[in-house]
Amino acid sequence: MAILATAGDAFQKTSVDEAYLELSSLGSCDTAVERARRLKAEIVSREGLTASVGIGPNKLVAKIASDFQKPDRLTVVRPEEVQPFLDPLRIRVIPGIGPKTERFLHERHIWTVADLRTLGRTQLAEWLGPRG
């Protein structure tokens, strides 16, 4: 984590092996990709560990992207690619949707992110509570 802690605008460690790094000040997605590749190489060189990296316009998209091609891959989702990237994915890719919520949504014929996107906030709150 020390390698990442000073490599961006902001750093947030979320677990022993997961963190978010803000790179928006770099000015472009291509520059962020270059930085991510250098960081991955440094992690391998110094720690002997691989790293899966997701680059996206927000934390949620970056998290899903980092899980998309594990292990040791770099997945980039540009802002204009978010919906086409997310829509075909199973709802379980969304952090917070565990087995019980997944089963509940499957019973209502909600299988993909695209299916979930068809629901309004009111419906989601009715089914899953205010944080739903």
User: Per the domain annotation, does 68 fall within a domain?
Assistant: yes
Residue 132: pLDDT over 80:
no
pLDDT band at 38 (very low <50, low <70, confident <90, very high): very high
Q: What is the pLDDT of residue 74?
A: 96
User: Per the domain annotation, does 54 fall within a domain?
Assistant: yes
Residues 117 and 73 in one domain: no
Residue 128: pLDDT over 80:
yes
User: Per the domain annotation, does 63 fall within a domain?
Assistant: yes
Report how far residue 29's alpha carbon sits from residue 77's, in angstroms, rounded to the nearest whole number.
Answer: 9
Residues 48 and 105 in one domain: no
Residue 2: pLDDT over 90:
no
Report how far residue 99's alpha carbon sits from residue 107's, in angstroms, rounded to the nearest whole number.
Answer: 12
The single-letter code of the amino acid at 45 is S
Q: What is the pLDDT of residue 126?
A: 94
Q: What is the pLDDT of residue 9?
A: 86
pLDDT band at 70 (very low <50, low <70, confident <90, very high): confident
pLDDT, average across residues 18-43:
92
User: Per the domain annotation, does 18 fall within a domain?
Assistant: yes
Q: What is the pLDDT of residue 3?
A: 85
Residue 55: pLDDT over 90:
yes
pLDDT, average across residues 28-32:
93
If one counts the domains in the chain, the total is: 2
Residues 10 and 70 in one domain: yes
109: left (phi > 0), else alpha (psi -120 to 50), else beta? Answer: left
Range of the domain at 49: 2-78
Residues 95 and 60 in one domain: no
Q: Which of 18, 22, 42, 102 is catalytic?
A: 18
Residues 24 and 49 in one domain: yes
Active site residue 42: no
User: Per the domain annotation, does 84 fall within a domain?
Assistant: no
